[in-house]
Amino acid sequence: MTDAIPAATGDRHIWLRVGTLLDGVSATPLRNAHLVYDKNQILFAGEQSPPRDLLNPEQQAPDADLPNHTLLPGLIDAHTHLFLEGGELDPAQRTASLHQSPNQLRELARSRLEKLIHLGIVACRDAGDKDGVGLALSQLSASPGRPLMPYIDSPGAAIHHRGHYGSFMAEPLEEYGSPAECVEARIRAGADRIKLIATGIIDFKKGAVTSEPQMTTEEIIALVAAAHAHGKQTMVHASGDIGIDRVIDGGVDTIEHGFFVRDDQLARMRDRNIAWVPTFAPVQKQLDHADLMGYDATVISNLKRILNQHAASLLKAHQFGVTILAGSDAGSYGVPHGLGLLYELQLMERAGLAPLTVLNAATGVPSQRLAFKDRFGQIRPGFRTRFILTAHSPLDSVTNLQKPGALVFDDAVLPTGAVDLSGL
Ligand SMILES: [Zn+2]
């Protein structure tokens, strides 16, 4: 597959013709479409023939004609914890890995990045750590001499309340005199966005979020205002409908997880332009590994009920027109980087979303909504040359992204896929 596509070296423009082109945003695919690009950016995408002046002198035919292939933007994971390795299933090893030095954590995280490229993933929105791993990788990804790696941005340490959930990835609000000072400190440290932990997490034994939300609505409003005053978006961990009410009232940019969201809350999220990152994978993995976790029948039935309810909410959210973003929560127990996103897409499809809706949620929709510092995730002039080509149509099923294909990434043409998620 990679042999069929010439690399975009020098000033040469590459001209491809593909059977199906997904631009990341549109609700319908382009058929028998043309794409012209150089190593920096896409120059043309459309069903009509490209303008002559964009083609190389004398070029009469496409460099490659791929009538059976689908072309789509490289994938974006909107929720990852790059400092954690979710594939580690031994709880003792997992705890030990958290106690490594920041340097060791950074090196390990860095060593996992190239693998993402070979899964077709071109960007990760990190969701926080307190050892500077995400911030260091964000800087690395923006540096001219960066290695082969996805675009990365990070909130640095998330913000939570001392003594409440999140101490492994957050620093407390109490360290500062006011929410505004706390946000300013994060931005001084290099945060690309602000991550808040507004609630606790699901108690699987009880099948509910039983703790009170950690943040008040007033605190959330103040933190969001401070972030917006600096031009930064907020990404907010919230599960349980009481906490979800508060973060909607707080006017956050994205709700992360959102388990137990109510239908009326979905409608308000749409009205307030709050996007949703449902992160099925970490909860599904609790069910997949129920034996390993020693869960009894009650917990297993709770997990199934929670996941079914979440799937129903995802369909509702789509019907209502809520902005939906794919995020794996990679780094969580059982959710490895890269493979975790492919699994998340599979779970979104299994919940009942059409493959194209799922693909858009992992490409053009986050590209439009998340204020990234670079242009990727759409097949449009001016966007980076970072796209997937595959003969296994992801419109039949997003699981086809697990089969071999190619990623065109700037001037490189790289093999992707050929993975088996059954052993995850
Ligand atoms: Zn997370």
Largest interatomic CA distance in the chain: 70
Sorting pLDDT into bands at 50, 70 and 90, what band is 353?
very high
pTM of the model: 0.97
Outline where 169-280 has alpha helix (H): 179-188, 217-229, 241-249, 263-271
Q: How far is the CA of 179 from the centre of ligand 1 (A)?
A: 21
Residue 263 contacts by C-beta under 8 Å, 6 or more apart in sequence? Answer: 313, 316, 320
Q: How far is the CA of 2 from the centre of ligand 1 (A)?
A: 34
Q: How far is the CA of 190 from the centre of ligand 1 (A)?
A: 19
* 11 or 313: which leads in pLDDT: 313
Secondary structure class of 317 (helix, strand, coil): helix
C-alpha span between 242 and 233 (Å, rounded): 22
Mean local confidence (pLDDT), 264-275: 98
CA angle 176, 130, 187 (to 5 degrees): 55
Q: In this structure, which residues have their CB less than 5 angstroms from ion ligand 1?
A: 127, 329
Domain with CATH 2.30.40.10 in the chain: 2-74+377-419
Q: How far is the CA of 329 from the centre of ligand 1 (A)?
A: 5
Superfamily of 75-369 according to CATH: Metal-dependent hydrolases (3.20.20.140)
Q: How far is the CA of 3 from the centre of ligand 1 (A)?
A: 38
Q: How far is the CA of 79 from the centre of ligand 1 (A)?
A: 6
Looking at residue 308, its amino acid is N
Q: Please answer whether residues 416 and 402 qualify as being in contact, where contact means their C-beta atoms are separated by less than 8 angstroms.
A: no
pLDDT of 1 over the 80 cut = no
Tokens of 321: 């027109």
Q: Which of 1-5, 46-50, 178-182, 358-362 has the lowest mean pLDDT?
A: 1-5
pLDDT in tens, 193-225: 999 999 999 999 999 999 999 999 999 999 999
DSSP E strands, 90-233: 121-126, 151-153, 158-160, 170-172, 194-197
Side-chain-side CA neighbours of residue 66 (13 Å): 28
C-alpha span between 142 and 153 (Å, rounded): 9
Sorting pLDDT into bands at 50, 70 and 90, what band is 95?
confident
pLDDT in tens, 271-327: 999 999 999 999 999 999 999 999 999 999 999 999 999 999 999 999 999 999 999
Q: How far is the CA of 279 from the centre of ligand 1 (A)?
A: 8
Sorting pLDDT into bands at 50, 70 and 90, what band is 4?
confident
Cα dihedral 90, 93, 95, 100 sign: negative
Domain with CATH 3.20.20.140 in the chain: 75-369
C-alpha span between 300 and 204 (Å, rounded): 8
Question: Can you give the pLDDT at residue 90?
Answer: 85
Q: How far is the CA of 53 from the centre of ligand 1 (A)?
A: 47
Would you say domain 2-74+377-419 falls under CATH 2.30.40.10? yes
